[in-house]
Structure 1
Amino acid sequence: MERCIDDELPFEIPTTWIWVHLDNICTYIQRGKSPKYSSIQKYPVIAQKCNQWDGFSIDKAKFITPESLTSYAPERFLQDNDLMWNSTGLGTLGRIAIYKEALNPYELAVVDSHVTVIRPLKRYILSEYLYFYFSNPSVQSVIEEKADGTTKQKELATSTIKEYYVPIPPLEEQKRIIAKINEILLLIRQC
């Protein structure tokens, strides 16, 4: 017997769209691991401070010890257009950025245990669409309610992220939405 999820959905969507759990449209959703830091600047580890609302900054990254690289499974290495969602912290919880390989002058990068990597099915879901959805006020205003923990240390569990409902339009419509948002943001920046 199917259950009705209408009460769980935040708003109505067009009939050509579909509500899905994030886990159903991604190949990988996983929080990073605690790094062993090094002064050798070879393999950056992305932390909360690297993910700002104005974008991703590799300049704020620390580095892992080169010998600890073998403890990372290949899927833990960031890929172009992965989303990096801050999953813990007061004031940083919920900030999200898109990883761009072109902005990383190093061979590779990983994330620490305070950041969750979201890797969408790139043939069907555009990272920028998910970025705009998760950074919008309808999501950001309830992030703390979905988090566990105390006021001083809120945490967005990986299971909560995987179960998050996302409204998915057809791919061409995702492209139009992204283009329109970028057009509006450009106008706003010019003001």
Structure 2
Amino acid sequence: MLRRINPKAKIITDNPQCRNLPLGWTLCQLRDLCSFLSRGKSPKYSETPNLYPVFAQKCNLKDGDISLSQARFLDETTIPKWPDKYRLRDGDVLVNSTGTGTVGRTRIFKAEYLGDYPFVVPDSHVSVVRSFDEIESTFIFYSLYCQDGQQYFDENLAGSTNQKELYIDVIGDRNIMLPPINEQKRIVAKIEELYFVLDQIEASLRS
């Protein structure tokens, strides 16, 4: 499957994990699953609110959600300097990439977060992981959001204690065990089913 999506993809064969992969699965690097993998850019901000928010790290909420309520806004005269690829799309995985405490925080963007805004662009402290259309983006999200993914980020941070950096190459180097698309969807559905059950248990304990 991967060769059809990205003929240039490097399939990993010299890792002990390869021997234990189910039939049809592939071990590869995240970069080979992405149509766009990049930090955002440093914006010029508007002094007043407008229709063009900038996605900052604080938009990736601690509780697991995303909100643009605290976003600052882009200077409208600079919009032509932002190619369309920087406009966040449904299914983009967003990773906070700077600063102790929030670096590595991973969320998935949904079009509904835009509300009435026509688009939103990421600042330079947020990394965008956009997988090919043939890959289930939520599967990629859980591969980075899971304990193993977060541990990988923690172990590969650069910089001083108070200014940790998660470089885009580190994100791209992350190994992903990629199953066929139907299995990706099944795994995502099972994870979300279990999260739903956990939410119900937490709600019952609070009541």
Q: Does the TM-score normalized on the shorter chain lie above 0.5?
A: yes
Mapped to 1, the partners of 2:19 and 2:142 lie a distance apart of 16
Question: Based on CA coordinates, which of the two structures has the bigger radius of gyration?
Answer: 2
Aligned length: 188
- Could you tell me which of 4, 14, 33 is aligned with 2:22? 14
Q: Which amino acid aligns with 1:112?
A: D
Aligned position for 1:83: 93
Mapped to 2, the partners of 1:117 and 1:13 lie a distance apart of 28
In the alignment, structure 2 segments of 5+ residues that lack a partner are 1-10, 202-207
Is 1:126 the counterpart of 2:155 in the alignment?
no
Shift of 1:73: 1.4
Mapped to 1, the partners of 2:194 and 2:12 lie a distance apart of 39
Answer yes or no: is the 8 Å Cα contact 2:90–2:110 preserved in 1: yes
Q: Secondary structure at the match of 1:116?
A: strand
Q: Which amino acid aligns with 1:44?
A: P
Mapped to 1, the partners of 2:54 and 2:19 lie a distance apart of 37
Shift of 1:47: 0.8
Is 1:5 the counterpart of 2:19 in the alignment?
no
Mapped to 1, the partners of 2:159 and 2:175 lie a distance apart of 22
Aligned position for 2:204: none
Aligned position for 1:108: 119
Aligned position for 1:184: 194
Aligned position for 2:60: 51
The structure with the largest strand share of the pair is: 1
Q: Which amino acid aligns with 2:57?
A: Q
Answer yes or no: is the 8 Å Cα contact 1:40–1:65 preserved in 2: no
Mapped to 2, the partners of 1:122 and 1:161 lie a distance apart of 19
Residues 133-183 of structure 1, C-alpha deviations (whole Å, 9 max, x = no match): 111111112312211111111111111111211111110001111111111
Is 1:74 the counterpart of 2:84 in the alignment?
yes
Q: Secondary structure at the match of 2:94?
A: strand
Mapped to 1, the partners of 2:179 and 2:13 lie a distance apart of 21
Mapped to 2, the partners of 1:129 and 1:146 lie a distance apart of 22
CA 1:11–1:82 in structure 2 vs 1: closer, same or farther (change >3 Å)? farther
Aligned position for 1:141: 151
Answer yes or no: is the 8 Å Cα contact 1:44–1:62 preserved in 2: yes
**Runs (4+) of structure 1 moved beyond 3 Å?**
2-5, 9-13
**Sequence identity of aligned pairs in percent?**
36
Shift of 1:4: 6.0
Shift of 1:3: 8.7
Q: Which amino acid aligns with 2:131?
A: P
Q: Which amino acid aligns with 2:119?
A: L
CA 1:11–1:94 in structure 2 vs 1: closer, same or farther (change >3 Å)? farther
Q: Structure 1-normalised TM-score?
A: 0.91
Residues 48-105 of structure 1, C-alpha deviations (whole Å, 9 max, x = no match): 1111252211222211111111111121111121111111111111111111122202
Q: Which amino acid aligns with 2:122?
A: V
